[in-house]
Amino acid sequence: MSRRILLACTAAMALSFGAARADTLVVCSEASPDALNSALSTANTSFDVSEQIADRLVEMEIGGSRLKPALAESWAVSDDGLRYTFNLRRGVKFQSNAVFKPTRDFNADDVVFSFTRMFDKEHRYYKVSGGTYLAFSAFIGSALKSVSKTDDYTVVFELNAPLAPLLSSLSVQPFAVSSAEYAAAMDKAGTPEKLDLEPLGTGPFQLVQYQKDSLIRFRAFPDFWGAKGGQPERAAKVDQLVFSITPDAAVRFAKLRAGECQVARYPNPADMPAMRTTAGVVVQESTIASMGYLSFRTDKKPFSDKRVREALASAIDLDNLVKAVFQGTGSPAASVVSPTLWGHNPALKPRPYDPARAKALLAEAGFPTGFNIDLWAIPVARAYMPNGRRAAEMIQADWAKIGVTAKIVTYEWGEYLRRARNNESEAGMLGGTWDYPDPAQMLGGFTCGALANGRNIPQWCNKEYSDLVQKANIVTSVDERTKLYQQAQQIIHDEVPMMLFADAKAFVGVSAKVNGFKLHFLGGQPFGGVSLKP
């Protein structure tokens, strides 16, 4: 991706954050997206962009977990669970830009194009922008057989096997629908990558400017279907929306206090008392389904030895780390599935802090004096890890007590993700929030089948675990699925391919001038429906 992509006219670029107009909502966000087309990403920084400009067949209600119709008005599922028929919404307009003006409304061709691009390796767009569709591969790729149209407003998904979380999966931003007509025009012009670098959608806002590590600017899309199509709460209520990319949480808070932004995301836990008592600032909070973890490269020595992994996990004073880093916004975790989500295994308990046992395990594994290790610290604030650097320093100090010397390594967020997905880390922090309310999303990322798609960061393959998750994805009984997922979580706990950090809450600082903002914890954060008081 280029360092600078400008899609706006000079006048639009003249807006300064300090003197934002009343019809401009400025959001202090934490990092640049690794991709503007979220089909190419699994990161919320990318999902946040897609959420503003594009739509999926189905959506999650803002601030909740109920599934709602979107580009599909309704759907039907065959008795055997292998055929999903979607009836599409009519009269939906696509956005335009300087190089493309749509000649027709959204229809079935756009749905077929958007999904076929991700699974047909012979498709002309499959390899554009790298040909890596992480969420597609992880969520629905193995189950999807074909996507076809019966007519202009009916699309059929055929599956190889039943997939219980399919509809919920389709609500996630990587499954947003792109314009097949725009794709064809850019392909003909010899610039197919523009589809991903200058994405157009059917959403409430249109992307007009992106400057990496600085800002992302959107403007209201006046032809958004939701205003008249039963979802007025998603329509843009401001003329412009700006993401002011501000990696430092303290600076985001300072900008909020100064009125330079109206929403400050991922506040530093240490700033929460001051934020709660700042005049004109409201703190919103929500219990979220998330997981943050420290992964171990199980396919390489010394981490291929479970005793080493268990030693490293046992040597970390998790209680102390969570108190210092999360500062009241989280509690030590033991189960991959959050207690806020069905499928959680309440029988699991955090591994006790036991440096003496850790040293004994290392000696037993052939490392009586320890070893050297690179420890990757996540560079952005997340609900599942508010301060990666501080956490890394505490882990570094704990490991030093058992003879393990850790060098802290980090990168810019996009580069960090790229390298992590390329399996370059020995021990690295990562995590995520659930994008749809089903345990399958995170648990599927640690199966043997996920080794090839960049999601299985520990490179851990356990057949018993993978079989349990696969079976749970097929059966429809929630009770049966819960039992299978709980067994799978027990295996992760016992085999230690990762060490979990905390079950966390999410917080956001919002100006009292803001109306209609709801903290959303499934996928990208919507800003449609948000307005500013005069």
From the CB of residue 519, how many other CB atoms can be counted at a distance below 10 Å? Answer: 18
Q: In the structure, what pLDDT confidence band is assigned to residue 392 with cuts at 50, 70 and 90?
A: very high
Q: Which residues pair with 503 in a beta bridge?
A: 331
Q: What is the per-residue burial (b if ≥16 Cβ within 10 Å, else e) of 196-233? A: bbbbbbbbbbbbbbbebeebbbbbbbeebbbbebebeb
Tokens representing 463 are 């057949």
The domain limits of the chain are 4-262+513-532, 290-503
3-state SS assignment for residue 364: helix
Q: In the structure, what pLDDT confidence band is assigned to residue 17 with cuts at 50, 70 and 90?
A: very low
pLDDT confidence of residue 446: 93
Q: In the structure, what pLDDT confidence band is assigned to residue 64 with cuts at 50, 70 and 90?
A: confident
Q: CA 387 to CA 371: how far, in whole Å?
A: 26
3-state SS assignment for residue 347: coil
Residues 6+ apart with CB under 8 A from 64: none
Poorest-pLDDT segment among 235-239, 274-278, 388-392, 442-446: 442-446
Out of 3.20.20.100, 3.30.70.360, 3.90.76.10, 3.40.228.10, which CATH number does the structure's domain 4-262+513-532 have?
3.90.76.10
pLDDT at 21 over 60: no
CA angle 365, 427, 430 (to 5 degrees): 140
* Residue 162 or residue 22, greater confidence: 162
Domain boundaries 290-503, corresponding CATH code? 3.10.105.10
Average pLDDT of span 262-283: 94
pLDDT at 19 over 60: no
pLDDT at 20 over 80: no
Q: In the structure, what pLDDT confidence band is assigned to residue 138 with cuts at 50, 70 and 90?
A: confident
Q: In the structure, what pLDDT confidence band is assigned to residue 22 with cuts at 50, 70 and 90?
A: low
Q: pLDDT > 70: what percent of the chain?
A: 96
Q: Which of 4-8, 177-181, 420-424 is predicted most confidently?
A: 177-181
Express each pLDDT in 139-185 by its tens digit: 899 899 999 999 999 999 999 999 989 999 999 999 999 999 999 99
Q: How many CA atoms lie within 13 A of 345 on its CB side?
A: 23
**Measured in whole angstroms, how far is the alpha carbon of residue 513 from the centre of its chain?**
28
CA angle 271, 389, 459 (to 5 degrees): 130
357 contacts 314 by C-beta, under 8 angstroms: yes
Tokens representing 116 are 């076929």
Tokens representing 81 are 């669970």
User: What's the pTM value of the predicted model, to 2 decimals?
Assistant: 0.82
* Residue 10 or residue 380, greater confidence: 380
